[in-house]
Amino acid sequence: MRRSLASAYVVVLLVMVALTVRASLGEGVLAAFARAGHDPWFLATLADTYFAFAAIGLWAAWLERGARGAVWCAAILLLGNVGIAAFVLVRLARLHPGDGLEVLLAGRRRA
């Protein structure tokens, strides 16, 4: 399970970085927003995406607690799926042998 999840999140991380670099070379994010920022579907999709990032960021902050949680929440809000993929990859790397999804998702180990 751990290897499959790690592979999936590495793919997400690499694809998102590649797409972001490609898009940035073609047009700056502010120019793109100025062009598309008045489109209602663009705004609805952007709001939907950032509400999801906020939810995942708050989950990361709850799991990590303290300053580290705040940093992860900010990273997810600023970097989106790149931040989410990095967060999950770090959590996967910190799992102990025998840890299951409950430890990854909730941070709880069995007694």
- pLDDT of amino acid 111: 53
Handedness of CA 57, 61, 62, 64 (dihedral sign): positive
Please name the residue ranges forming H helices in the chain.
2-26, 29-36, 40-64, 66-79, 81-93, 101-106
Please give the chain's pLDDT, 111 residues, in tens: 889 999 999 999 999 999 999 999 999 999 998 999 899 999 999 999 999 999 999 999 999 989 999 999 999 999 999 999 999 999 999 999 888 888 888 887 655
**Structural tokens at position 12:** 């997400």
The Cα–Cα gap between 79 and 16 comes to 10
